[in-house]
Amino acid sequence: MIGLNMKDSVETLVAAYIGLGSNLDNPVAQINSARTAIGSIEGVSELAFSSLYHSLPMGPQDQPDYVNAALCIETCLTPLALLRSLQAIETMQGRVRKEERWGARTLDLDILLYGDQEIDVSDLKVPHTGISERSFVLYPLFEIAPRLIIPGKGVLADLVAKCPLNGLRQMA
């Protein structure tokens, strides 16, 4: 369990959405392990989890395909405390941060949404960059929160309607 101190928490619970992705070292197991680890963070409880989705890699195409999912949590953690906790889980699961953008990775955990907040600080941008154009984010989100409104972007259902699948498919 990852610990919590007072400066890491907010007074009211906030719904946050996390994108999960992996394309190395048994991606399905990586996603499932991350889900369990996120649920063990003090101040976090799971509300909904999407199906797993198979997606083509973004960026360099000389890497394995991805497995993606979306998770809705309720948390009392601040956005930056949540980010630190997610990055600790990535590290525990073998993620090595490289300068290469969109490269292969054991695990990628992104805060997609944090309540209805728009956040733009050096370490964190919420809604997540590119959220409104990425099928591997929009479709899993839509599965668990079809009435969601993305701050500054619009109604999720409208964004999904405009976003081609680009090879995305729900896994059995």
Active-site choice (8, 101, 110, 116): 110
Active-site choice (35, 101, 105, 123): 105
Active site residue 110: yes
Residue written as token pair 């630190």: 84
Active-site choice (108, 116, 123, 147): 108
Active-site choice (35, 62, 84, 95): 95
Burial code of 51-88, b = ≥16 C-beta within 10 A, e = fewer?
ebbbbebbeeeebeebbbbbbbbebbbbbebbbebbee
- φ, ψ of residue 21 to 5 degrees: the values are -150, 150
Q: Which of 22, 1, 29, 20 is nearest to 95 (CA)?
A: 22
CA distance 14 to 168: 29
Active site residue 108: yes
Active site residue 169: no
Question: Which residues participate in catalysis according to the annotation?
Answer: 95, 105, 108, 110
